[in-house]
Amino acid sequence: MITSNKLNRRSFLKVSALAGGGLILSFNWLAGCKPEEIEEFGLPKEWFRLNGYIKIGENGLITIMSPNPEGGQNVKTSMPLIVAEELDADWKNVVVEQAPLDTDNFTRQFIGGSQAIRIGWIPLRTAGATARQLLINAASQEWNVPAAEITTESGYLIHQASNKRAHYGKMASLAATLPLPENVELKDISEFKLIGKSHKNVETKNIITGKPLFGIDYKKPGMLIAMIIHPPAHGMKLKSFDDSAAKNLPGIKGIFEFKSLQDDYSRTFFDTVSFTDLIAIVGNSTWQVLQAKKAISAEWEPIQSYEEKRDQFGNPTTRIVPAGLESEESQRVKMEAAAKSPRTFRKDGNPEQAFQNAAQVIERTYEAPFLSHNCMEPMNFFAHVQGDKVNCAGPLQKPELTEQALSQRLGIPVENIEIEMTRLGGGYGRRSYAHWLVEAAVISQKMNAPIKLIYTREDDMSGGIYRSRYHANYRAALDENNQLIGFHVIAGGLPENPLYPDRFPAGAVDNYWAEGWEVPSNLTTGSFRAPRSNFMAAVEQSFLDEVAEAAGKDPIDFRLELLKKAKTNPVGERNDYDPERYAGVLELVKSKSNWGQTPAGISRGVSAYFCHNSYAAQVVDLKVENGEVQIDKVFNAIDCGLVVNPDAAKNLCEGAVVDGIGTALFGELKFNQGIPDRMNFDQYRMIRSKEAPKEIETHFVESQEDPTGLGEPAYPPVFAALANALYQATGKRFYNQPFIQELNG
């Protein structure tokens, strides 16, 4: 494939970064070498930049930085593979380094939405191919031979006719001065040597040897520790506080009230934060600050309803923040009222008539609670504000967007702000909203000192940002031949509507109706792994199982029948899935699990879903003994296009399955007068090792399609596969999460 490269060097850097998730990668000839070999090789005396992605030393050392944050999704391995493939590098000589935020050269330095590989596929390949072509052109000029006669292999340039051979470093100096080629040829998939083969995580050694990779590990000379106190309940604000018992405790340097974001600030999507009026406690050590925090007496008062200015990616909006202290029952009353007046998002055919003429109508209602992210690593960030310069370091998912908020809050231009990205000890959407970075910087500015801000687990769980509380009502109409003739969903949430009106089974039913609603709340919510899909997949696929049973059909065959109609005679033009690929994962999981031949003593359930441009189907095998769920095996069938790194891909799918099962069984957060009922892991139930599946088997559809998302797609469908298997084991359908309550209720 020929790809255009009509860019100057700086434009190439910026545009490639924008399209590819802002990635610069690092290849190091020393990786995989023995320690004595590293010492012999040494560092280059001079670097030569070939494009925004790659620089090469005169001795052959190749380095490119990786701007995307790494949070366990393994982009720091998989994305370098893409560049290395087109560069024709030897992977055993590759190492990857993390870059700091660089808004001059990169505009999409963030993780989220399972988009890194999908968006970066062509730009990353182009970067590698461009560097390779520059090296070939340099060798052509140096050796005075036609460029077409020069080949590359494992980091070497070769001209067979003259028996000339040189590593890339020999031509790097000249290559760096040559004009970029207007077009470069990308490899055919059949030529790939690295992509499609498993490669271990480049950080494995650092992780298992306990290297300080995470923000919580970060230290600087003279650094002080800070913590915050925020209101104990959503719907309250700070009135006053008494620090007389705390300010003279050992090691305490300062206690003061501050505002993290100004009231008139127009917040972007990722500036979501529950509380902006806070108390800061600063001291020499974490223990000293904790003791002072406990000694502070604060008085709180109710908020008044207000409108919050928002900027949703260039679209100005307002968010209504109502007054009041919300509780489980007050929320339920508001949700029930809103569900009576939903808004239509899609309507095909005449669903009212279909239900009126139906031989059988199935109707079910589903609910899911608020959820807390509970990343293993507490929220933390380092900040040092010195005049008009800012240096920060820590774990966050959207550094570029957070930097803009920081610049406005401090009154310091973004070019004077440096953010070093550490490895994330869990993200899942929570670290998209890095208000704690702004808080750390404001505290540093006030104290005129380097500050490391640390949240306690209770600070995090009581301060937002939660997965919304959801509710959905489904109806299905069957005719006298047990054919699905009508489908109606009304879905809503507090405060977010989870509906995806154009997803399956839209397009597969002649009479289809999708309605939605939402309820304003002063609880702050945001992205949670596979946002909204994590609920809609669970309820949609659970309901389809019931409909299949009512129709007297096998649950997989029933879904395939609908997908066949969506392919051959689709309803509507806005269906956002490919029915053939959707059916493909169902067929694959059916085959690999030997569906229809359930092992003795085992109950099984199936589910399938499309989100983040990928398709996932799952079969869960389990048994229930003495009220405890024992999961024997989970089968994954995934279509994410071409798999770049199968090892990493399997890891992502396995993690999604364990995470999803734990959330479905145990995840729950409720509120009483604005206060969450669970503040730490002694109350908020997480999955335990013994409750994880004994085995997870993952299969990928063989594909030459460009890669799509994978960090999230395997997460949503496992909720329903679990629920459907539990039904087979207990004879009881599960309509409310967490399932453990209904299982033992």
Instruction: Please say if the pLDDT value at position 36 is more than 50.
Output: no
Q: How far apart are CA 396 and CA 436, in angstroms?
A: 10
The predicted-structure confidence for 375-389, as pLDDT tens digits, reads as follows 999 999 999 999 999
Round to whole Å and give the CA distance between 479 and 110: 49
| Residues contacting residue 136 through CB under 8 Å, at least 6 positions apart | 147, 150, 152, 157
Mean pLDDT of the region 49-78: 72
Helix runs in 99-143, H state only: 116-143
What pLDDT was estimated at residue 31?
33
What is the distance between the alpha carbons of residues 355 and 314, in angstroms, rounded to a whole number?
42
Report strand pairing: 62-63 vs 54-57: antiparallel
| Top-confidence residue, 11 or 419 | 419
Predicted local confidence at residue 6, as pLDDT? 44
Instruction: Tell me how far apart the alpha carbons of residues 95 and 20 are, in angstroms, rounded to a whole number.
Output: 19
Identify the pLDDT of residue 22: 27
Segment 513-556, tens digit of pLDDT? 999 999 999 999 999 999 999 999 999 999 999 999 999 999 99
Residue 495 has pLDDT above 50, yes or no: yes
Q: What's the pLDDT score for residue 54?
A: 65
Q: Is the pLDDT of residue 159 over 80?
A: yes
The residue count of the chain comes to 745
Q: Is the pLDDT of residue 30 over 50?
A: no
Residues 6+ apart with CB under 8 A from 733: 364, 542, 546, 723, 727
What per-residue confidence (pLDDT) applies to 310?
85
| The predicted structure's pLDDT at residue 148 | 96
Tell me what pLDDT residue 553 has.
98
Contacts of 564 (CB under 8 A, 6+ apart): 579, 583
Strands 451-454 and 224-229: parallel
Give pLDDT tens digits for 659-675: 999 999 999 999 999 99
pLDDT band at 103 (very low <50, low <70, confident <90, very high): low
CA–CA gap between residue 362 and residue 428 (Å, rounded): 35
Would you say residue 127 has pLDDT above 90? no
**Measuring CA to CA, which residue among 280, 273, 281 is closest to residue 234?**
273
How large is the greatest C-alpha to C-alpha distance in the chain, in angstroms? 85
Dihedral sign, CA of 108, 112, 113, 115?
positive
pLDDT beyond 80 at 199: yes
Mean pLDDT of 28-44: 37
pLDDT digits (tens, 9 = 90+) for 610-628: 999 999 999 999 999 988 9
Mean pLDDT confidence for 248-270: 93
- Rounded to whole angstroms, the Cα distance separating 254 from 447 reads 8
The contacts of residue 690 (CB under 8 Å, 6+ apart) are none
The pLDDT, as a whole number, for residue 116 is 83
Structure tokens at 404: 């803009």
Average the pLDDT over 227-254 and give the result. Answer: 97
**Which whole number is the average pLDDT over 196-221?**
93
Mean pLDDT of 459-474: 97
Could you give the CA distance from residue 472 to residue 528 in angstroms, rounded to a whole number?
18
The Cα angle at residue 631 between residues 628 and 635, in degrees rounded to 5: 160
- 728-736 contacts, C-beta under 8 A, 24 or more apart: 728/603, 728/604, 728/605, 729/603, 729/622, 729/623, 729/624, 730/624, 733/364, 733/542, 733/546, 734/542, 735/364, 735/365, 735/366, 735/367, 735/542, 736/366, 736/367, 736/368
pLDDT band at 28, cuts 50/70/90? Answer: very low
Question: Average pLDDT of 264-287?
Answer: 93
pLDDT digits (tens, 9 = 90+) for 435-454: 999 999 999 999 999 999 99
pLDDT band at 679 (very low <50, low <70, confident <90, very high): very high
Mean pLDDT of the chain: 90
What's residue 34's pLDDT? 34
CA-CA distances (angstroms) from residue 653 to 115, 140, 435, 529, 712? 16, 46, 30, 13, 8
Dist. CA 695–CA 683, nearest whole Å? 28
Residue 168 has pLDDT above 60, yes or no: yes
Q: What is the pLDDT of residue 17?
A: 34
Share of the chain above pLDDT 70, in %: 90
Report whether pLDDT(13) > 80.
no
Highest mean pLDDT among 47-51, 92-96, 520-524: 520-524
Q: Is the pLDDT of residue 641 over 50?
A: yes
Closest to 501 measured CA to CA, from 583, 577, 387: 577
Which residue reads 């650092």 in tokens? 206
What domains appear along the chain, each with residue ranges and CATH number?
Answer: 2-208 (3.30.365.10), 215-307+379-454 (3.30.365.10), 544-743 (3.30.365.10)
Find the mean pLDDT for residues 359-383.
97
Prediction pTM value:
0.92
What is the predicted pLDDT for the residue at 123? 82
Summarised one tens digit per residue, pLDDT across range 401-437 is: 888 899 999 999 999 999 999 999 999 999 999 899 9
> Do the Cβ atoms of 116 and 67 come closer than 8 Å?
no
pLDDT attached to residue 79: 82
Q: DSSP per residue over 143-200, as a string?
A: HTS-GGG-EEETTEEEEGGGTEEEEHHHHHHHHTTSPPPSEEEPPPGGG-SSTTS---
Q: Which of 127, 248, 246 is nearest to 184 (CA)?
A: 127
User: DSSP of 613-659, one letter per residue?
Assistant: TEEEEEEEEEEEETTEEEEEEEEEEEE-SS-S-HHHHHHHHHHHHHH
pLDDT of 8 over the 60 cut: no
Confidence grade of residue 222 (pLDDT, cut at 50, 70, 90): very high
CA–CA dist 268, 405 (Å, integer): 8
681-715 pLDDT, tens digit each: 999 999 999 999 999 999 999 999 999 989 999 99
List of residues 6+ apart from 653 with CB closer than 8 A: 616, 636, 638, 696, 698, 710, 714
